[in-house]
Amino acid sequence: MKTATKALLFNALLFPGWGQIYLKQYKKGILIISAVMAGTSSILWYVIQTTRDILKITPFKKGTVTFEAVVRLAIKSLAELNLDYILPLLFFMLLLWMFSMIDSYQSGKKLINK
């Protein structure tokens, strides 16, 4: 398999930035990985905080939890999520992933042509 294709597959299948690491572009790879990890951590933190807030106000008493009640609460909670925070982060991470794939493929092709 060609170097460019391997780098593209590392980015597409593993994690953004791994293709750059594979091509020995360590600074660029670490920068991309760090940015995606920061975005992922930020979204995870937001989801954990929202879940904690939801669990504080749940109407459940000890031993009275039913599947239907949990589903109703989950649907209600999804409606109350603030997507103004999550969607831009997801969009940025998607753009970063696409940039990472394109860059690793082009960098791999340049290495082949040298």
Instruction: With beta carbons less than 8 A apart as the criterion, state whether 47 and 80 touch.
Output: no
Q: What is the pLDDT confidence band of residue 8, given thresholds at 50, 70 and 90?
A: confident
User: Does residue 81 register a pLDDT over 90?
Assistant: no
pLDDT over 70 (residue 89) = yes
- The residues spanned by each domain of the chain are 3-113
The distance between the two most distant Cα atoms of the chain, rounded to a whole number of Å, is: 69
Q: In Å, what is the CA distance from 75 to each residue of 4, 59, 90?
A: 44, 15, 21
pLDDT-based confidence at residue 1 (cuts at 50, 70, 90): low
pLDDT at 110: 85
Residue 35 confidence class, pLDDT cut points 50, 70, 90: very high
> Average pLDDT over the chain, rounded to whole?
83
Q: What is the pLDDT of residues 53-80, one digit of tens each?
A: 777 777 667 767 778 877 877 787 777 7
